[in-house]
Chains A and B, each alone.
Chain A
Amino acid sequence: MTEFKKFVLLALPFFLAVAGCSSPNENSPKKYSIYAMMKDGSEYIIQTDSLDAKAIEPADGAKIAIKDVWSDLIVKDGFYYRLDWKTETFFKYRLEGDHLIELDTVKLPGFSFLETYHWVAKDSLLLITYNKHVKKTLYAKLSVPDFVLKTGEMNIPTPAGIFNWMSIGFAQLRKDKLFVGYTYHTTSTNGFTTSDTAHVSVLKYPEMICLQVFKDTKSTYPGGINTEEPFTFTDEKGDFYYIACPGIALGNHPDKPTGIYRIKSNEEHPDSSFFINISASAIQNHAYGIWYIGNGKAIVRSERKGLFTGMKDHYKVAHFDFYVVELATGKAERLALPLDKGTARQCIIYKDGIAYITINSDTAGSYVWTYNPETKTLKRGMKFEGEIDYILRIDEL
């Protein structure tokens, strides 16, 4: 073979790959990302610049080859991040055309599943896992532009006595203090139970040294796995709120009520004078997930007992309500939306005074509904076309 032929043979695939790339404009990220599962089990991500369009067809987007990725995703600034538990590898992706393109990877030894993540700075991501094999809570601080990593152990009491597992439900950095919420479990092959106590440790950051531990038994399982749905927010005053979810779909300690806790902006401990008992409010059920919609109001997504029989149908029967909770009074008011399905979903974006709520109803279709908290008006907007089974995520890019 001549040198020329060798060159053509080696260079041609590279040339074709470069020539086949779309222009930068076509690949620039849009404003919103939607993740849907179709009735045949296939999963798609599609991006859009507007949630006010008439309709969108998720199957026109990128088909996702790996099942159930939706629950692992972290979405920010046009990028998708994900930990692969089998390879203990953290990935960075971008959607280009109808493909998720892998941009970077880094090994995270000891990380099997993410418990929670927290953006400690614009480009700095704190990832937390509990490794049951070494019985340690591990963290990784990742600079996302260059994927440079710092890892270590967090000084949090590990499970002891009857407990053999733990869940880290949130981490929130305030100056040099990191608030970490967690609880303990007893697991078996086919079930688990959760401690009756919600714990919050205050760690010195970045040393991760424990300064204080606070315990509370009004509810349990503070926070949750925030790749699946949000469990915390910070309001305009800097007060930090977290929801504890002991219902069967998360903490599995349903005798305890779902509740909202607070750490005030000028304090370094949970506010003992503040607790909203969601289950004792007009909701009268357990709730999961919380979305702040400004001016002291948050939306919670609550299950409705009597419409499902157990975990067998909890995820597939439409039984979820949305309530607006006034944080000052604890008053809860139901939004007149069709019942929603899917046990956990990233389903609300609050933008410019409007809450965009995706509703996944078998009888009333799948739509984006808009809620204006000022006027208390609800409107049905963009329709999800196609054989939609679940709208699993809606994220702002």
Chain B
Amino acid sequence: MRISKELIEKYHDGLCSPSEKEAVENWLNSDAVDEAFELPSEISKEQFSDDIWNEIAVILPEEKQEQVSVFSPARRSVWRQAAAVLLVGAAGMTFFFLKNKGVNSSNIIVVKNTSETVNKDLEASEYTISVGPNSNVEINNKNGVIDFCGAVMINPKKDLTLTIQGTCEVNKLSNEKHYLKKGLTYIALNYKSSSNPGEVLILDDGSLMGLPPLMKRQLMHQFNI
């Protein structure tokens, strides 16, 4: 079976049939990284590797991103061919890692989403997080603290208690614990209103009705609630 980008995404979303799942896992576990991989027809392997790297860079710990930044433009061009092969494999392995093992509990995970329009998703063992445009989040799995600035959606996989702090304004850290119920969708928002530029809101999807309709609709649209 040819392994396509779409198939890997499907695998990541847990939507593969048993045969597709087996094919992806065989591909992931095989040494021949790109033999069975089908590139989208309209883009080159280089472009594809760049795209994938841009995607995975935001879900890697910050230190990893800094390591990447040592590639100077000149050196980067030298590494392009090798990077294409390695990154295609790395992308698949990253999906596999996130899907099956969750976020490494000993790490502080930093996700910075600089996109103007697209969310960045992260799957941890106890919850999934979707980081909205122009938003960032830092997750400390040791103490259960989530610091964020912007808009973030959290879907708990079990009942859990998290300390969720809005960090757009550093002098307003609340250290407030929130009990999140499995099955509900939560929005954490550093809401900027005219009277209060740094209000931190943690709302389940049933409580979005408390927001101004324009804000509620933006969030529903952005996070597909």
Chain A residues with CB under 8 Å of chain B are 37, 41, 67-68, 70-71, 85-86, 112-113, 165, 167, 185, 187-193, 224-225, 228, 248-255, 310-312, 314-316, 342-344
Q: Complex formed: what's the CA distance from A85 to B220 in Å?
A: 9
B205 adjacent to chain A (CB < 8 Å): yes
A187 contacts B213, C-beta separation under 8 Å: no
Q: How far is the CA of A85 from the CA of B190 in the complex (A)?
A: 25
Say yes or no: A254 contacts B209, CB within 8 Å. Answer: no
Cα(A312)–Cα(B220), bound, Å: 18
Contact of A190 among B192, B208, B214 (CB under 8 A): B192
Q: How far is the CA of A86 from the CA of B221 in the complex (A)?
A: 8
Given contacts A85-B221, A113-B217, A310-B199, contact A190 B191 (CB under 8 A): yes
Sample of 20 more A-B contacts, CB < 8 Å, known A191-B191, A248-B193, A252-B194: A68-B208, A68-B209, A71-B213, A85-B221, A112-B217, A112-B221, A187-B214, A187-B218, A190-B190, A190-B192, A191-B193, A224-B213, A250-B212, A255-B194, A310-B191, A310-B195, A311-B191, A311-B210, A312-B201, A343-B209
> Which partner residue on chain A sits nearest B221 by CB separation?
A112
Which residues of B from 135 to 164 have beta carbons under 8 Å from A? 135, 150-151
Judge if B207 is at the interface, Cβ distance under 8 Å: yes
How far does the alpha carbon of A37 sit from the alpha carbon of B204 in the complex, in Å? Answer: 14
CB distance from A302 to the nearest CB of B (A): 16
Q: Is the CB of A192 within 8 A of B210?
A: no
Residues A252 and B134 in contact, CB atoms below 8 Å apart: no
Distance in angstroms between the alpha carbons of A343 and B211 in the assembled complex: 8
Query: Given the complex of chains A and B, what is the CA–CA distance between A239 and B211 in angstroms?
Result: 32
Give the Cβ gap from A277 to chain B, nearest Cβ, in Å.
19
Q: Contact: A343 with B205, CB < 8 Å?
A: no
Main secondary structure of the interface of B (DSSP, over half): mixed
From B196, B209, B218, residue with most partner A Cβ within 10 Å: B209
Shortest 9 CB-CB distances between A and B: which pairs?
A315-B210, A191-B192, A310-B199, A189-B151, A310-B196, A190-B151, A225-B213, A189-B132, A113-B217
For B208, the chain A residues whose CB sits under 8 A away are: 68
Given A68-B206, A68-B208, A188-B134, also A228-B213 (CB < 8 A): yes
Which chain B residue lies CB-closest to A316?
Answer: B210
Q: Which residues of B contact A225 (CB under 8 A)?
A: 213
Taking the complex as formed, is B222 at the interface, i.e. its CB lies under 8 A from any CB of chain A?
Answer: yes
Provide the residues of chain B in CB contact with A188, threshold 8 Å.
134, 192
Query: In the complex, which residues of chain B have a beta carbon less than 8 angstroms from the beta carbon of A167?
Result: 214
Q: Provide the residues of chain B in CB contact with A192, threshold 8 Å.
A: 212, 214-215, 218
B224 adjacent to chain A (CB < 8 Å): yes
Q: Does B124 contact A (CB under 8 A)?
A: no
Candidates B133, B150, B210, B218; contact of A343 at CB < 8 Å: B210
A256 to B: closest C-beta gap in Å: 10
Of the candidates B151, B190, B194, B213, the one whose C-beta lies within 8 Å of that of A248 is B194
Contact partners of A316 in chain B: CB under 8 A: 207, 210
> Which residues in B have their C-beta under 8 angstroms from that of A112?
217, 221
